[in-house]
Amino acid sequence: MKSLLGLSGDTATPQQVMKAILSAKADLLWFGGIGTYVRTPDETDDEVGDRANDAIRITTNDLRVKAVGEGANLGMTQPARILFARKGGRVNSDAIDNSAGVNSSDLEVNIKIALGSVVRAGKLTIPDRNKFLASMTPDVAALCLRNNYLQTLALSLVERRAHENLGFAQRLMRDLERRGKLDREVEDLPDDAKISEMAEKGMGLTRPENAVLLAYAKIDLYEALLGSTIPDDPYLGRELGRYFPPALTKTYPDAIHGHRLRREIIATMLSNSMINRGGPTFLVRVRDETGANVDEISGAFALARDGFQMTELNTRIDQLDNKISGELQLELYAEISDLLTSSVVWFLRNEDTTGGLAGKVAHFQDGISTVGKSLEKLMPPVFVKMMQRRKDELIAANVPEDLATDMAGLMFLARAPDIIRIADETSANLKAAAETFYAISEMFSVGPLINQAQALSLDDYYDRIALSRTIDAISISQRRLVAQLVAGGKKGAAAIADWKDAHGAVIERVRSSLDDLLQSDLTVSKVAVAAGLFSDLARD
């Protein structure tokens, strides 16, 4: 013990032993009791305000662990968490690490409310209710752990793009401040001057800071949803069934649907899902790009998530815990998260997302599935090779072949809503529209252009908004062009051959200009030029 704790004497006081434990070299320091044990060197014990532990408290300079977990409230001060994270330590916040306590309590109360109506109806006795409650203990534990898993995953995804997300985080903080919902100084969040300094240095918010924003984003979205008609929407009402243990929803479905806190539970589930999967800045980012309200954004979220069956895809990635590298696993999650955001924006710009969601989700889900199952047959050989190369890379990294196939095709399947829209507007066969769409993409290198554009590192928030709108303009022009081609009754290479015969000169001019753009260092202005070229092409 002397060697382990770094103590030299044969005896030590309890305070010395506890301080040595806090300062020990280890992988994890886990706080399970009450008290604040770590502060920054610049903070004083008076500022911490926990007199009982003044004698054993350490500073971040004394920490020699890789990670800190806070099973207790305020095991570290927030400035200490931030400083520890800046130095490479891994830490969330107490609200994240011990959230299961509140979560399980909420579930217990809401389950008892549901069963109360069953007991009052004479369908269940109190002793039988108690047995039924006890039988659901493992399921309640699993639901709590699932929620915690998703919250920490959300933070990991934000953390890997901390600098890129800084502008959006600033927008979120400004928005919350303007409405009197956030005090940055109280929450130890950087002011605008500090954010400008961080941007210049290529820095982003730390994990503990993002944990605070995650909480505020969820609370704000929850309140907005509760004040909207969303919890009353028949399709989004399905979120209610995902909240409770399966045994309860199967045995007493009427008690669930008639729950007196039905709206609150639906709003909680939906806000958790949207922010966990889209990140803390999801709502403000989408709202700024589209001008949509929370009702419209929630509907678009359901269309994107369920149309692409993202829940099932994410679950398959969950099953790769400790089977592939954490870095690759996060990369796969991020690809789906990126698709979610871009698809939500697409649906907001192209569909009415406030009604008839069940039918629309089914329509897009069926169309996306149809295109996805035939990707290799519908795409030009060069795209098939790209897809195969990515698939081989994933398989070599121990990703199961079926998942590797689906993930490799995701960058191409992302354009499926455009293809479905073309088929809807022209009454063309869906596969014919897809074949023509991918042929045009290959002909003008649309995929590489959009991929390079989306990969641009942009510090300016408004540049990112402008880029998003410009990429959307390219998609609209491509959709118009494909619609014109399939309207002639031909598809793929045959449709393009006829088109080239009639418009050869302008086609070559545009292709040459786009090739020059792709060979150079891409900028927002160059992407705007490309969008203009595509617009000209669609008009000719």
User: Do 122 and 253 share a structural domain?
Assistant: yes
Dihedral angle sign, alpha carbons of residues 219, 213, 303, 485: positive
**Could you tell me what percent of the chain has a pLDDT over 90?**
72
Q: Measure the CA dihedral 350/354/360/365, to 10°.
A: 80
30 domain residue, yes or no: yes
177 domain residue, yes or no: yes
Residue 326, number of CB atoms within 10 A of its CB = 11
- What is the arrangement of strands in the sheet containing 64-70, beginning at the earlier edge strand? 25-31, 64-70, 90-91
How far, in Å, are 305, 367, 442, 515 from residue 302 at the CA level?
A: 5, 16, 30, 37
pLDDT at res. 453: 84
User: Do 326 and 372 share a structural domain?
Assistant: yes
Final residue of a structural domain among 282, 305, 337: 282
Residue 447: band (very low, low, confident or very high) from pLDDT cuts 50, 70, 90? confident
**Overall domain count for the chain:** 4
Q: Which of 50-64, 203-217, 394-408, 470-484 has the lowest mean pLDDT?
A: 470-484
CA atoms of 391 and 396, how far apart (whole Å): 9
What would the pLDDT profile of 468-502 be if each residue is shown by its tens digit? 889 888 888 889 889 988 887 778 778 888 887 77
User: Do 208 and 117 share a structural domain?
Assistant: yes
pLDDT at res. 484: 86
208 domain residue, yes or no: yes
Token reading at 325: 């590298």
SS3 70: strand
User: Do 270 and 191 share a structural domain?
Assistant: yes
What would the pLDDT profile of 7-18 be if each residue is shown by its tens digit? 888 899 999 999
288 domain residue, yes or no: no
User: Do 278 and 139 share a structural domain?
Assistant: yes
195 domain residue, yes or no: yes
pLDDT at res. 540: 57
CA atoms of 426 and 432, how far apart (whole Å): 11
| β-strands 25-31, 64-70 pairing | parallel
User: Do 171 and 76 share a structural domain?
Assistant: no
- Per the listing, tokens 């008009």 go with 539
User: Do 339 and 267 share a structural domain?
Assistant: no
- Per the listing, tokens 């402008």 go with 466
472 domain residue, yes or no: yes
User: Do 248 and 103 share a structural domain?
Assistant: yes
User: Do 237 and 123 share a structural domain?
Assistant: yes
Final residue of a structural domain among 397, 414, 431: 414
User: Do 64 and 152 share a structural domain?
Assistant: no
Element (H, E) at 67: strand 64-70
pTM to 2 decimal places: 0.92
Final residue of a structural domain among 255, 282, 309: 282
CA atoms of 212 and 161, how far apart (whole Å): 17
Q: Measure the CA dihedral 130/134/136/140, to 10°.
A: 110
Taking CA 531 as the corner, what is the angle to CA 528 and CA 534, rounded to the nearest 5 degrees? 155
Dihedral angle sign, alpha carbons of residues 463, 464, 469, 475: positive
Averaged over 331-360, what is the pLDDT?
93
- What is the extent of the structural domain holding 312? 293-414
What would the pLDDT profile of 132-154 be if each residue is shown by its tens digit? 999 999 999 999 999 999 999 99
75 domain residue, yes or no: yes
- What string of H, E and C letters represents the secondary structure of 331-360? HHHHHHHHHHHHHHHHHHHHCCCCCCHHHH
User: Do 524 and 442 share a structural domain?
Assistant: yes
Select, from the ranges 153-167, 435-449, 516-530, the one with the highest average predicted confidence (pLDDT).
153-167
287 domain residue, yes or no: no
Residue 534: band (very low, low, confident or very high) from pLDDT cuts 50, 70, 90? confident
Dihedral angle sign, alpha carbons of residues 42, 48, 49, 54: negative
User: Do 187 and 258 share a structural domain?
Assistant: yes
